[in-house]
Amino acid sequence: MAPMKPIGWYLKEADSLITSTFDASFESLGITRFHWQVLKNIKDDGQLNKKDYYPKVSRFITATELDDILSSLISREWVMIAQDNYFMTDMGKHAFAKMETLQQEVKEKMMSGSNPEDYNTTVKFLSLIINNLGGKA
């Protein structure tokens, strides 16, 4: 049996594959994993304030990338902006329903062979690492 790789390798490889798999799944809609995440946050919170949201995702995308994502969502008429807050339009809600189906298919593939306990244990372990190293999980 080959020796285990360092945990960082598994983290980066998993994240890279998650991103590329979601991007491939969403390709027919012309969006990426990060478009999905922005829309999911708008759906869950009812709105998104860029100034409040960006610090939460700044390790994953640049401010320019977030601006580009929001601009593309506005140009598709999936999102509108009012008083510095972004809201999902009816067209956006319809598109999001399609995305949610695609997202669920990828999630099922990704989680195949595991159970909720595996997931919870992994998240707890990663949260412990993050907190031990001064982050906030």
- Mean pLDDT, consecutive 10-residue stretches, the chain (137 aa), reads 90 95 94 95 97 94 97 98 96 96 96 95 95 91
How far apart, in Å, do the first and last CA atoms of the chain sit?
33
Tell me the CATH architecture of domain 21-110: Orthogonal Bundle (1.10)
Whether residue 77 contacts residue 91, with contact meaning beta carbons closer than 8 Å, is answered with yes
